[in-house]
Amino acid sequence: MRSAVLLLTLLLAMGGPARADYQAGVEAHARGDFALALEEWSAEAEKGNADAQYNLGQMYRLGQGVAEDMAKAFAWFLRAAEQGLVPAQLNVGVMFGRAIGVPRDDVQAYKWLSLAAAQGDPQAMRTIDFLGKRMTKKQIGDAKFQAATWQPKKETPGG
């Protein structure tokens, strides 16, 4: 009985149902059921789940079950990036650097790519080198300062 209570406590502490909804989205997406994936991930994304936010960004970027919308893709990637999700930071950096869904901003691009590169993302490392070649020393300095002082945000539901 004691071990059953302990197991139940651990499952509740891990957020079992919320994870299950996210996982249901993963499974639906893998089956090509984009409508269900969108529904599951939208609910989780609004609760602050960075992985769900990133996945919604990908769905809008690729037009999977929704109209392709780079501005919406960027918005979802940014929410996930602000929480520290490396692939989202890479996408935000690339989108700022290429003016995809957002006006071009090399300082912001460099900042987000720096954050992803610092966590070992090889594409971010390569892209930041290329980006730095078109920036002034002041712009690079500003971006490095922003990256050095950046702190991840933890979203609250509705976030």
The residue written with tokens 């966590």 in the block is 119
- Res 137: pLDDT: 97
Q: How many CB atoms lie within 10 A of CB 94?
A: 19
**Rounded to two decimals, what is the model's pTM?**
0.85
Torsions phi, psi for 68 (to 5 deg): -60, 130
- Res 156: pLDDT: 74
AA letter at 44 = E
Q: What are the boundaries of each domain within the chain?
A: 1-69, 84-150
The residue written with tokens 């769905």 in the block is 59
Q: Which residues contact 78 (CB under 8 A, 6 or more apart)?
A: 88, 92
Burial of residue 70 (CB within 10 Å: 0-12, 13-18, 19+) is: middle
- Res 155: pLDDT: 83
- Res 157: pLDDT: 73
In the chain (159 residues long), the average pLDDT of successive 10-residue segments reads: 37 45 95 96 95 98 97 98 98 98 98 97 96 97 98 80
